Amino acid sequence: MKRAVLITGHFPHQHRRPSMLWVSDHLQAAGWHMTHITVGYSWLSALFGDVRLRALDNPPHRGTYQRSPTLTSIYSLPPIHPVKTRNSAANRLLETANPLFTNHWRPRLRTPLARADLVICESGPPVLLAPILAKQAPQAARIYRVSDDIRLLNAPDALLRAEQAHHHFTRISTASPRIAARFASHPNVTIDPVGIPHDQIDIRTPDPYPTPRRGPVAVCAGTTLIDIPALIRIARQRPDWQIHVLGRLRRTPPALPNITWHGEQPFATTLAHIAHADIGLAPYRDAPGVEYQTTNSNRILLYRHHGLPTLGPDRLCDPALPSIIGYNSPDALTRCETWSGTAEAVPDWLDLARRLSQNGVTDPSGDTSIPPATTTKPRVNTVPAFASSA
């Protein structure tokens, strides 16, 4: 049996299903054993009530836990983990404590890494462990999977430097050509698109929205880099829109009559909200670099699969993706209300799992932002239809 080690900030049992959890499922189905190692937490997380831990139904198992014959999880709390504050002096002091994080994980990684054929290290705090991965798993393909541009996630400077010491990895993988360009000096950079779960997305689900509908239903299926003021502006400009936001938030959001804040939800619930919506919202913070979300955002891919228009900052707009409508585009909100589009063909997560598990040295695949072929499923939204029950 081949063995893979995933080092990530996510938990195998969490509601939100990021890309590497799907990859883990597919590798296990293909006969791999997966060791899922969750890092980026510490006693500080427990002390200050980390919102990521509060979003879990049950506390994570500490230590090594055998979840199934093909899945082992490891979770532990070092004294401290990489964090960034608004105070530069405090940040310099906290950085001196990073060895407490790496030294805590070094012995706990030794056994799974010694047996690994494949190591996938996700962006974020895991990248600080890169030298340990190279030393303890020299026999393995070691992939740095850059799921996010951590510069936009308030990452500590130590993580940004660790990203540039990428010689510890045998391969850099990302879905974004923009992110790939940052690692141009690495000899093996591949663009590997994210996907959607084809075996789940077309299952018929009950409409989760209240009926009769009083106006268009707009869903925001995720809160990563969320721009709440932009969401509030949309709600006030279109009081007849019924806006539903799914995902965890760090603080209590403002109350508006046409916004429902659902919090973190099971993936099946999220799918139902997308499948029965009329408009997809992608209110990412309008900051330089957020353009990578056009290729990396799972919610945008799901909107495209269901033929929804996607409303977001102008930075997301791409001539190759006409379904993405910028806030400042002419008649942007009206275009969303009257959108007539087709469901698009989007890759399956199985494709990404196969790409990551095939690790001969490859030629960089270049820009893969060519729009996918469309299916024949038309979707038409018109304002009068919203007056009737769903």
Q: What is the per-residue pLDDT for 389?
A: 25
Q: Tell which wins on pLDDT, 199 or 239.
A: 239
**Could you please report the per-residue DSSP string of 242-291?**
EEEEES--SSPPPP-TTEEEEES--HHHHHHHHHT-SEEE--B---TTGG
Task: Indicate whether 368 pLDDT > 50.
Answer: no
Task: Indicate whether 250 pLDDT > 90.
Answer: no
Q: Give the lowest-confidence range in 161-170, 189-198, 340-349.
A: 340-349
pLDDT band (50, 70, 90) for residue 251: confident
Alpha-carbon distance 314 to 330, whole Å? 11
Question: What are 298-314's pLDDT values in tens digits?
Answer: 999 999 999 999 999 99
Distance from chain centroid for Cα 320: 22
Domains of the chain: 3-169 (3.40.50.11010), 198-347+373-387 (3.40.50.2000)
Q: What average pLDDT does the chain have? A: 89
For Cα atoms 159, 367, 359, give the angle at the middle one, nearest 5 degrees.
65
- Which residue, chain included where needed, has tokens 């391969």? 171
Q: Given CA atoms 264, 268, 271, 272 in this order, what sign does their dihedral have? A: negative
Closest CA to 384 of 237, 278, 249: 278
Task: Indicate whether 126 pLDDT > 60.
Answer: yes
pLDDT band (50, 70, 90) for residue 49: confident
**Buried/exposed 131-148: b ≥16 CB within 10 Å, e otherwise:** ebbbebbeebbbbbbbbb
Question: What are 133-174's pLDDT values in tens digits?
Answer: 999 999 999 999 999 999 999 899 999 999 999 999 999 999
Q: How much is the average pLDDT of 110-138? A: 98
Distance from chain centroid for Cα 223: 10
pLDDT band (50, 70, 90) for residue 39: very high
Q: Give the lowest-confidence range in 72-86, 263-277, 374-388.
A: 374-388
Q: How much is the average pLDDT of 73-97? A: 94
pLDDT band (50, 70, 90) for residue 384: very low
pLDDT band (50, 70, 90) for residue 65: very high
Q: What is the per-residue pLDDT for 47?
A: 81
Q: Quick one: what percent of the chain has pLDDT higher than 70?
A: 92
- Residue 255: count of CB within 10 angstroms of its CB: 7
Closest CA to 334 of 262, 221, 263, 234: 234
Return the top range by mean pLDDT from 135-144, 193-202, 209-218.
135-144
Task: Indicate whether 82 pLDDT > 70.
Answer: yes
